[in-house]
Amino acid sequence: MSTSTSMTSHSLDSKKLAVITGASRGLGRILAGFLARQGHILIITARGEADLRKAAAELSSTGSPVVSIPGDVSDGAHRRRILEAAERWGRIDLLVNNASDLGDTPLPPLGKAARETFRRVLEVNTIAPLALIQEALPLLMRSHGLVVNISSDAAVGGYQGWGMYGSSKAALDLVTKTIAAELREDGVAVVSVDPGDMRTKMQQDAYPGQDISDRPLPDVTLPFWAWLLSQPPMSVSGMRYQAQASLWEAPP
């Protein structure tokens, strides 16, 4: 675990704290940069230690405190390290469950998909986000925080080859809607966000050898994030959003 901070403890007390999984590159990295510029304390995590270390160094240049913790969100010990870091400030204002596992590539049809791989995808994309919400709940309740679960258009599309990934995200959408209703009385808001097709490593891995330069970079979603994070959390709780759509709120 690495930490960078130059702020006094008094100034830190007034700052919001965000936890972002899968923050070393792509959407997670862009969102972390946006939040750092807004003055958030950041706890970032990802499986790739070198990329995470590089991201942390860049984020620290904004002056915001950054804690980077490499590891796999499906590992309970890793999640405990994340929450132990958050305990330093005694709150979590924003939890972004962005880390995802695509599964095998090239993407196989479900009829030929390896069931062990499917279990792994579900573990990372569905069970780990729920586990992190459960384990972070005391800190989220303390700050009336917002949880953002990153979904996908594959959750509703039925696209060939995307069955494992899409199923895991469809399950995450239902987890989001259900737990949002259950946590309303506790003052914790939960939403799911489909960021849309983007030019990321995961997208390239899904289409090996293909040119994906027509996809926008993840910073295309920044106007949506600026809007979402300016809303009272309970006013958006339980909703599903599409960050690149002309209407951000997805139909039920």
| Position 5 pLDDT exceeds 70 | no
For residue 202, what pLDDT band results from cuts at 50, 70 and 90?
confident
pLDDT-derived band at 10, boundaries 50, 70, 90: very low
Give residue-wise pLDDT tens across range 90-102. 999 999 999 999 9
Q: What is the pLDDT of residues 134-157, one digit of tens each?
A: 999 999 999 999 999 999 999 999
DSSP helix, strand, coil percent of the chain (3-state; round to 5): 50, 15, 35
Q: Is residue 7's pLDDT more than 80?
A: no
With a pLDDT cut of 70, the percent of the chain lying above it is: 95
> In this predicted structure, what is the pLDDT of residue 206?
83
Strand pairing partners for 96? 20, 148
Task: Report the distance separating Cα 96 and Cα 23, nearest Å.
Answer: 9
**Residue 2: per-residue pLDDT:** 65
pLDDT for the residue numbered 201? 85
pTM: 0.94
Mean pLDDT calculated for residue range 192-208: 90
User: Are 191 and 238 contacting, i.e. CB atoms less than 8 angstroms apart?
Assistant: yes
Residue 81 has pLDDT above 80, yes or no: yes
Please check the confidence at residue 219 and state whether its pLDDT lies above 50.
yes
Q: What is the mean pLDDT of residues 22-38?
A: 97
pLDDT of residue 231: 97
* Residue closest to 184 by CA, chosen among 149, 143, 141: 141
CA atoms within 13 A on the CB side of 183: 28
pLDDT tens-place string over residues 168-180: 999 999 999 999 9
Q: Mean pLDDT for the chain? A: 94
| pLDDT for the residue numbered 37 | 96
Asked if 35 and 42 touch (Cβ cutoff 8 Å), the reply is: yes
pLDDT on residue 3: 61
Please write the tens of the pLDDT for every residue from 52-68: 999 999 999 999 999 99
Kindly list the structural domains of the chain, giving each domain's residue range(s) and its CATH number in brackets, ordered by start. 2-242 (3.40.50.720)
**Position 8 pLDDT exceeds 70:** no
pLDDT band at 212 (very low <50, low <70, confident <90, very high): confident
pLDDT tens digits along 221-235:
999 999 999 999 999
